[in-house]
Structure 1
Amino acid sequence: MSSATSLLPSATAATAAVVAGCDAVTVTDTHLPLRIAAIFIILVGATGGALFPVLARRSRWLKVPAGVFSFAKYFGSGVIIATAFIHLLAPGIEALESECLSEGWRQYPYALTFCMVSIFGIFLTELVAFRWGTSKLAKLGLHHDAHGHDAGSHAAHGPEGRLAASAEEDVEAMPEKTERSLSREDNEASERGGESHSSIGQVIGVAILEFGVILHSILIGLTLAVDESFTTLFIVITLHQTFEGLGIGSRLAYMQLPPRYNCIPIVAALVYGMTTPLGLAVGLGVRTTYNPASANAAIVSGVLDSVSAGILMYTGLVELLAHEFLFNKEMMSASNKHVLYALGSMFLGCAVMALLGRWA
């Protein structure tokens, strides 16, 4: 009994030490000039990584081989998948199991729950959009392949890509008599309808992907602003954001939009490039009051990381992986060499981002 009593004060003292450590605010002014310079260095790296594939594909004077775009596209898929598991879900679990949180947070796997809810939320959003788009195309007399076996759509995965590709296939498959019987106005209306739904769907898909990446990028910037081991983290995060930008940009480059929406991929790339520098700038501004080890910070970062992980998991595994390799006619009929090249590029992107998870 006495031994148990003697252990009680030490346990209480340990708990008090943890709470004190969580409530403490550490002012980090080391490497302050470099932290400020990091805002602009990461801005250039992230924005350049995201913009280059978009601008290179549109450029007439910059002759980039098609194989480079293919590599960037598949490499980017691997980057996004590894980001979801290594850079988002793992930190989310760690944050929501922090000793700074109350015991209730550690009695249930909340991080995995938030991730699961996020996945189903994105799935339901796409399901509603898919059914809505289907009904609209049906009113125009068009039909689409529910499994998304589109021939050669490199960016429009999900409902948006399936609707556009199926519309084109059905128009081509119309009997000549039926085509002649359609008036010019009907044809134009059908084209406008298919174009509108395809564009809206692609924009929604990009917005979902950007949303998950942006949350992650802002948290990275906040962490970089106050972390004591700045030098190593700065190098790794610069590479991380550049590679992730390349993955996002390679997807944006293959969006198939009408001319009036051509600015959307560029805007999306610029928004991505600004998020981490923005988080870094905010972190530097509140570095004297922001404590990344506090309970509130752990909850916020844990929830956002977990939700973002679910978004990127769904996007990477369903929209990119499944529709690129399983539901793509070009890939299904491609040579073994091409398939192995695509798989190797994807695994390389995944491996690089997983390796960077060793430090950040």
Structure 2
Amino acid sequence: MAITCSTVIIFIFLILFTIFSGQVLSQSDNSTKSILEECRPESGSCNSNSKALPLKIIAIVSILVTSMVGVCLPLLSRSVPALQPDRNLFVIVKAFASGIILATGFMHVLPDSFDMLRSPCLPENPWHKFPFSGFVAMLSAVGALMVDSITTSIYSRRSSMDVKPAEIEVADDEEDNRDREMGVVISSGVHFHGHCHAPIDTTTSGDSQLLRYRVIAMVLELGIIVHSVVIGLSLGASDNTCTIKPLVAALCFHQMFEGMGLGGCIFQAEYKFLKKALMAFFFSVTTPFGIVLGIALSATYKENSPSSLMTEGLLDAASAGLLIYMALVDLLSADFMGPKLQRNIKLQMKSYLAVLLGCGGMSLMAKWA
């Protein structure tokens, strides 16, 4: 009887084990098949090279035009008195553009990097064992801090060395003469109360601030260009007409608002006309250039291949670190902790609202682009 009961228990266990193992194997087979399907090039009714090519040409023209409009609007604001850098409206518009750049880093670039470097098309080791996106973004932000700090430090040291020794000696002699005159007055029994105001040289501090604006503009453009090329490359290599159509519209708004943020920084940097034109030109053509490059490489470029995923993921992570650092430290923090906004609570609240609007609008676009 005991043998019969144990036999029945073992038999039931074997049946349950067989059923369970069969389900596990079928699930693993299904997951393997789904991974393989996901890593293969897209196919279906939406995929057509002949239909996608006209859409890509439209994307090149429309993105180029909207990028130029966005980056040139702040540069043309010198003719508009209300948009001068010392006016409140300029501060609010700059806060809005800074919110756009911040949301671009957090909501567009960094999530794309995580998706690419966590893709099942990449090997488990090391890409799924370590958060490379966050690590590269962190190193990129620290690198931007180093460039910002070292450049400002070198310039400050050079400015202090430019002070002539003769000027220092003259200043010392004048100070000694004033001390001797004070001694004579005091020894004669006359009560004297005076204030000596040495002239303050604001040239050095103004030049240092201008240098920071120029470093901000250059580093910010670098981060935006890297991301723009990656976006254009992905769009140019894709033949999915169902995704290209909404992506083009979203990228037009994306590039225009991002260009407004960059254009404001270029405007404050006070470059000469040629350099302003070159920076605006390079920003405007990077995404169309990426699309053209993607079209040219569409025969060899595989959207879900390990090499393309690793390259785009790491570049996006580096770009995200640059954009987040520049938006938080050099744009938002510099303005909100500055004297203009600290003295005006009403303007500060308006600027916070502008930042939230910029972040919210660009975050909403993350649904399509």
Instruction: Tell me if structure 2 keeps the 8 A contact 1:53–1:69.
Output: no
Quick one: distance in 2 between partners of 1:51 and 1:288? 36
Quick one: distance in 2 between partners of 1:128 and 1:255? 18
For 1:1-360, list aligned pairs within 5 A: 2=18, 4=21, 7-8=24-25, 11=28, 14-15=31-32, 18-19=35-36, 21-24=38-41, 28-29=48-49, 30-57=51-78, 59=79, 65=83, 66=87, 68-104=89-125, 105-141=127-163, 175=198, 201-225=212-236, 226=238, 228=240, 229-257=243-271, 261-326=272-337, 328-334=338-344, 336-360=345-369
1:17-37 deviation per Cα after TM superposition (whole angstroms, max 9, x unaligned):
524642547674234212212
Instruction: Tell me if structure 1 keeps the 8 A contact 2:144–2:322.
Output: yes
**Which 5+ residue runs of structure 2 have no aligned equivalent?**
1-16, 165-195
Total equivalences in the alignment: 310
Change (3 A) 1:333 1:67: closer
Give TM-score scaled by structure 1 length.
0.77
Aligned CA-pair RMSD: 2.8
**Match for 1:308: what amino acid?**
S
Instruction: Tell me if structure 2 keeps the 8 A contact 1:80–1:316.
Output: yes
Q: Secondary structure at the match of 1:72?
A: helix
Quick one: distance in 2 between partners of 1:194 and 1:341? 28
**Match for 1:72: what amino acid?**
V
Instruction: Tell me if structure 2 keeps the 8 A contact 1:50–1:248.
Output: yes
What's the offset of the Cα at 1:316? 0.5
**Which 5+ residue runs of structure 1 have no aligned equivalent?**
143-172, 180-186
What's the offset of the Cα at 1:264? 2.3
Quick one: distance in 2 between partners of 1:32 and 1:312? 31
Kindly name which structure, 1 or 2, has the bigger radius of gyration based on alpha carbons.
2
Quick one: distance in 1 between partners of 2:276 and 2:234? 28
Change (3 A) 1:290 1:317: same
Give TM-score scaled by structure 2 length.
0.75
What's the offset of the Cα at 1:256? 3.4
Q: Percent identity?
A: 28
Change (3 A) 1:198 1:72: closer
